[in-house]
Amino acid sequence: MTSKQITRAGGFGAAHRHAGRRPPVWLLLAVFVFMLLPVDFAGLGAPVAFAQDASSSQGAEQVVHGPPPSLSAADYPQIAGINARVFVWLAAQLHLWFAAFVLAVPIFVFIIEAIGMKTRDERYDSMAYEFIKISITAYSLTAILGGLLAFSLIIFYPHVFGYLSGIFKETMFFYALLFFAESALLYIYYYGWYWLQGGFKKWVHLTLGLLLNAVGTTLMFLANSWVTFMMSPAGVDPAGVFAGDAWAAMHNFLWNPINLHRFVANIAYGGSIVGAYAAFKFLSATREQEKAHYDWMGYTANFIAISALLPLPFAGYYLAAEIYAYSQQMGITLMGGIFAWLFIIQAVLIGTLFLSANYYLWCGMGRSDGAHRYNKYVKYLAIVIIGAFLVWFTPHTLVLTNEELKALGGPYHKYLGPLGIMPAKNTAVNIMILFTALSFLIYRRANRIATVSWVSAGNAVQAALFTAGILNILFLGIYHGYFTNTVYKVAASIPQVLTTLIIIAVSISLDTVMYRGAKEVAPLRWGRVPDRAQYALFMLAVAFTWLMGLMGYIRSGIRQHWHVTDVFRDNSPDAFTPTLGYAANVVSVGTILFMAMVIFVFWLSQVSTRKSEAVGYWKA
């Protein structure tokens, strides 16, 4: 009997009785907590090391790290004819895709494991284990690509790397140390999954998961500070001289907006990738039981992706507003200049995400025998979502020939032009989000019959809530968007967002109360879902990847000819903004490379379960 079998056979109670004989767990925990403590104090708290540096000379005049060098094209090494920018671009992007995935998976694995502990339903535990199993191979690839990125930066951009590492030497050092903690925690969390089962040991395991997430998120925040420093430098004087306040450099203007946006986006992204894994397994499964399992896994992954996708546009809007607040010039380059056209592609991809996620939910209604009561509403949901999607990606100006311009009477279309400005987009995305939430509510109801006496009144209140809320969103979008000035236009987006959030929160709460103690129409038939629904999951993962690559390029590209905005000039031969087509091609090549690696990871997970009988090969 293996240890896994022993733990399972023993159950929670048996495992709990043995928990006291396992002191190494405590020892390991103590070691990790000990490792984490100095990191928190020195890396995130007061700049202890810098305070000591500063004491050696006098206050503000002291220069801890000099101004950035003034470079010429000759200062950027050329190796074997490789285009340094494209190489670093792809290395950074591939590293980020994998990093986003491996940081996100433990977050929802932790939540699913906790749900399993609360409900004592072992299926959750098995699913959480399968999720973390996928991220293990991806974790190695993340580290390899991180190494590739670091080396390529040192080789191709030695002065930039030198300048940044001079300012962020402490955070980079602690980043490296934290990586040990992250690796150790991840491996113990994964390999100790069946060892740390039952009772107290399960709590220890969950605590390890929490620590893993704390370390992972801290790692991301540290790396984010380097990136945002390049966009919105702080802690340096206008010449780029660093006086030693590491916290000021870290806590630069765009750090928290990026932290929030990446945290939410990573969860959505991680959900979409494991969704693709579940779809892959579903399509390759031959047994009904296996299909049912992977269908459930795919549904859960899609649920995670949607849950994080719904607040994501708000986090993105906050980030964009902060970019404008930091530098209006940067903001206009972002959304009014050359990059604005990439935002149209972004809009198409975001629309694809919403359509895929909704389509998957609608297909999933086939699992329920009670879904026929709601099928008739799906077409209306689809019409509204597609309508909002069309408004969402309508450009403000059009790419036209001279003849077309003449025929149109200018760059703006009479009817479509007004749909190209932000108030129309905000209104459209809020409605798209609301109808996605409505899709989810209908999906939840499909298999249940409410038994409370006030069902009819409850439905009426929900309908009224949606009606009043949508009218409010339209009022704010149309009146403030088209009949007031810019200050009102921007300000009105906040009550719009709040209206959406209130509708979602109130309607889900009301629905939960209404369907408490509800009857099931029939047991849900997991696995009874068309294959095309699985392709919607693939589309979700591909669209997410593409979107991240595209927006990552935009975020980095708006620095234009600066390594560090307004402080450190980029004088490399590549210090220009490439054409949109070129940039889109690089992002697409990156997406294909990433997808190939992800397929490799999925394939490995298949291979690891196979066994070949080598009859006659080994000595008897």
Partner 1 sequence: MRTYVVPFFVALIACAALFLALDLGVMNLMGLTLFFNP
Chain residues binding partner 1 by CB under 8 A are: 456-457, 459-461, 463-465, 467-469, 471-472, 475-476, 479-480, 483-485, 487-488, 491-492, 494-495, 498-499, 502
CA distance to 286, 342, 537, per residue, from 558 (Å): 49, 12, 32
- Please give the Cα distance from 426 to 179 (Å, whole number): 39
Please, what is the end-to-end C-alpha distance for the chain in angstroms? 23
Closest separation in Å from C-beta 255 to partner 1: 24
Burial of residue 505 (number of CB atoms within 10 Å: 0-12, 13-18, 19+):
exposed
CA count, 13 A, side-chain hemisphere, 158: 8
Of 155 and 455, CB closest to partner 1? 455
Of 37 and 460, CB closest to partner 1? 460
Max Cα–Cα distance, the chain, nearest Å: 88
Of 72 and 485, CB closest to partner 1? 485
Closest separation in Å from C-beta 424 to partner 1: 18
Contact 215, 185 (CB under 8 A): yes
Closest separation in Å from C-beta 492 to partner 1: 8
Quote the tokens at residue 263. 């945290």
Of 461 and 589, CB closest to partner 1? 461
Question: Nearest Cα to 308, choosing from 276, 268, 275?
Answer: 268
Of 55 and 467, CB closest to partner 1? 467
Closest separation in Å from C-beta 573 to partner 1: 46
Residue 394, number of CB atoms within 10 A of its CB: 21
Closest separation in Å from C-beta 482 to partner 1: 11
Closest separation in Å from C-beta 398 to partner 1: 29
Quote the tokens at residue 429. 């995305």
Closest separation in Å from C-beta 477 to partner 1: 12
Of 306 and 497, CB closest to partner 1? 497
Closest separation in Å from C-beta 494 to partner 1: 5
Contact 160, 563 (CB under 8 A): yes
- Please give the Cα distance from 588 to 543 (Å, whole number): 11
Of 51 and 464, CB closest to partner 1? 464
Of 130 and 322, CB closest to partner 1? 322
Closest separation in Å from C-beta 372 to partner 1: 21
Question: Nearest Cα to 130, choosing from 307, 310, 282, 286?
Answer: 282
Residue count of the chain, please give it: 620
Helices 158-167 and 122-156 pack at an angle, to 10 degrees, of 120
* DSSP string for 313-358: HHHHHHHHHHHHHH-HHHHHHHHTSTTHHHHHHHHHHHHHHHHHHH
Question: Nearest Cα to 149, choosing from 131, 172, 174?
Answer: 172
Of 191 and 454, CB closest to partner 1? 454
Closest separation in Å from C-beta 480 to partner 1: 8
- Please give the Cα distance from 96 to 399 (Å, whole number): 33
Judging by DSSP bridges, how do beta strands 519-520 and 448-449 pair with one another?
Answer: antiparallel
Q: What is the DSSP letter of 412?
A: S
Closest separation in Å from C-beta 320 to partner 1: 18
Of 483 and 617, CB closest to partner 1? 483
Of 464 and 604, CB closest to partner 1? 464
Which residues on neighbouring strands pair with residue 569, listed in sequence order? 562
Which residues on neighbouring strands pair with residue 529, listed in sequence order? none
Of 114 and 422, CB closest to partner 1? 422
Letter for the amino acid at 474?
Answer: L
Closest separation in Å from C-beta 375 to partner 1: 21
Alpha helices (runs of H) in 394-454, residue ranges in sequence order? 402-408, 422-445
Contact 546, 588 (CB under 8 A): yes
